[in-house]
Chain A
Amino acid sequence: MNYNWNWGIFLEPSPDGQGTYLDTLLLGLRWTLATALSAWVLALSLGIVVGILRTLPSRPLQAIGTVYVELFRNIPLLVQLFCWYFVLPEVLPKTAGAWLKQLPNASFFTAVVAIGFYMSVRVAEQLRSGINALPRGQKNAGLALGLTTAQTYRYVLLPVAFRIILPPLTSEFLNTIKNSSVALTIGLVELTARAYAIQEQSFQFFEAFAAATVVYLIVNLCVTLGMRLLEKKIAIPGYISGK
């Protein structure tokens, strides 16, 4: 294949006047990190709530959790993203819709919400598995000691459950970072979008996508390392997930 290699492309000025191509990649990286981290915070908060809901003894609360999970789990992320971005402003009352549409950085907020809800379901399921993996005796012992359900969860079940699900939760965190790239379809100019742009302007697709690949790898390796350190730090000696 007669490919004209040009690794120096990253030092050439980008035609949109924002510095070199490398600068544009770094701008994209900032948006990727912002979207991924915000979405992860949202996913954790919602996911923990829903995961607990699905394990509570109350049937109606379980039902709410189930509906939530099935809804956001069975629709592809891209479809959900488009629904949030294009459909939601149309079904809201006119003023609310117009406000949503004119929001500065609308694509950022929409992406955070969409990815956050989608990933919250996975966190919820992980948490539910973690809690269900604990022996029944734990909860019963807590209740027998006179703790309320909430206290049992807070002091007995959740601490161990979290330590159990920390490895799969790492995967979900990485998935959130990778899923942030779908935001390019609604106009968020994150890392993958920037790589596409370099490819479009200069036709140097190998260099552009190699750079994006390397950056994603480095970010994700940092996350993996960080989570592993966290696992080691909070491990309880002697417990299932302990040293």
Chain B
Amino acid sequence: MRSIASLVAIATTALIAGSVSAQTLTGTLQKAKETKKIVIGFQEASVPFSYLDGNQKPVGYTLDICSKIVDAIRKEISEPDLQIEYTPVTSANRIPLLLNGTIDMNCASATNNLERQKQVDFVNTHFLTANRFVSKKSNNLNSIEDLKGKTVVSVAGSVNLNQINRINNERGFGMTVASAKDQLEAFLMLETDRAQAYVMDDVQLAVQAARSKDPGAYVISKDAFGKPEPYGIIIRKNDKPLKDLADKATAALYRSPEIDTIYKKWFQSPVPPNNVNFNYPLDPALAAAFKNPSDSADPDHYALKN
């Protein structure tokens, strides 16, 4: 890694030399040009955003969007042979690996919020999801009020767990809030009746229910705990060329009909590895967000004005 001082020196020299065509690349674009590859951090089990298919290949909705960003990078740095290297990450290690340069982008289902924006940057929102709960039909839990006094589980450290804790404290619901290590374990707790409801982003709930042993036994609540929150692709902070490029590429993608094809491919068709179709229609708020791409962390920004 060159120091900032020498980067500035190189840039100034190039400017003085006056050659218009020679671009001085910085940050990730420079790294991509030098190493002839870009490293994408993906998650192994975040269906259908970023996961391993039956052949252990990384696939997913977010990965498709990221490959469009990489296409734009290839054009920008004139490196048509730029390779993509995929590195599996977990939500625990994705940020250290991003910040130390092991990965260049994290393409999965990370929630964009202001606190995180102090540490990293997010590319234009590619998904919106509201916090809902899934329960067994036999428990007959329809609204949030029905959760009073019940055992509710969510994933440790997630925004969903915070929301449910806050509701419990503020509105005195008397719920037993359990925290599971990850989504699989949380669903297992619901399946084995350790918890009566599992609170998570509604798209993750739909996917897990569809892939469970008995999809028909579960129902996702209509009530949401709050406004839809945005998912974003994570990149390093203070990397303006990459951020601008990624934002431009994704904005162009979202405004074109191609995003509909990509969306249908992952949410409304059979997907690997088991050819399950999640039948998750395009939310009107997301359609509106595609028309006006933004990296805002504020859920109010995406709420439809009815």
A contact set with B: CB distance below 8 Å: 1-4, 6, 14-18, 86, 89-90, 98, 101-102, 104, 106-107, 184-187, 189, 193, 196-197, 199-205
Contacts and interface: CB of A to CB of B under 8 A. Distances in A.
Q: Is the interface of B mostly helix, strand, loop or mixed?
A: mixed
Interface of B: 91-92, 95-96, 99-101, 115-116, 118-120, 151, 153, 156-159, 161-162, 165-166, 169-170, 176, 178-181, 185, 188-189, 192-194, 236-238
Given A1-B99, A98-B193, A102-B151, A202 B119 contact: yes
A188 B236 CA distance: 33
Nearest to B179: A187
Contacts of A189: 156, 179
Given A1-B100, A203-B115, A89 B192 contact: yes
Contacts of A4: 118-119, 237
Contacts of B115: 15, 201-203
Contacts of A184: 156, 181
A6 B162 contact: no
Contact of A16 (B96, B116, B165, B189): B165
Nearest to B1: A1
B201 to A, nearest CB: 14
Given A15-B162, A107-B178, A193 B156 contact: yes
Contacts of B236: 2
Given A3-B99, A17-B166, A187-B179, A204 B193 contact: no
B181 A185 contact: yes
A197 B101 contact: no
B176 A187 contact: no
Q: Is the interface of A mostly helix, strand, loop or mixed?
A: helix
B162 A17 contact: yes
A107 B180 CA distance: 10
16 contacts: A2-B236, A2-B238, A3-B119, A14-B162, A15-B166, A16-B166, A17-B170, A18-B165, A18-B169, A89-B192, A89-B194, A184-B156, A187-B178, A187-B181, A196-B156, A200-B157
A205 B95 contact: yes
Contacts of B100: 1
Indicate the member of A4, A18, A184 with the most B CB atoms within 10 Å: A4
A90 B101 CA distance: 46
A15 B165 CA distance: 9
Contacts of B96: 205
Contact of A203 (B116, B165, B185, B238): B116
A201 B157 contact: yes
Contacts of A205: 95-96
Indicate the member of A2, A187, A197, A205 with the most B CB atoms within 10 Å: A187
Contacts of A90: 192
Given A200-B91, A203-B116, 6 more contacts: A1-B101, A2-B236, A4-B118, A107-B178, A201-B115, A205-B96
B99 A101 contact: no
A55 B157 CA distance: 47
Nearest to A4: B119
Nearest to B91: A200
B118 A6 contact: yes
Contacts of A6: 118
A196 to B, nearest CB: 5
A9 to B, nearest CB: 9
Contacts of A186: 181, 185
Nearest to A105: B176
Contacts of B156: 184, 187, 189, 193, 196-197, 200
A1 B237 CA distance: 11
Nearest to B119: A203
A29 B165 CA distance: 19
B179 A193 contact: yes
Nearest to B120: A203
Given A1-B101, A187-B153, A104 B176 contact: yes
Contacts of B237: 2, 4
Contacts of B120: 203
A184 B156 CA distance: 9
A197 B157 contact: yes
A191 B282 CA distance: 40
A6 B91 CA distance: 20
Which 5 A-B residue pairs are closest in the complex by CB-CB distance? A200-B157, A16-B165, A16-B162, A203-B119, A197-B157
A108 to B, nearest CB: 11
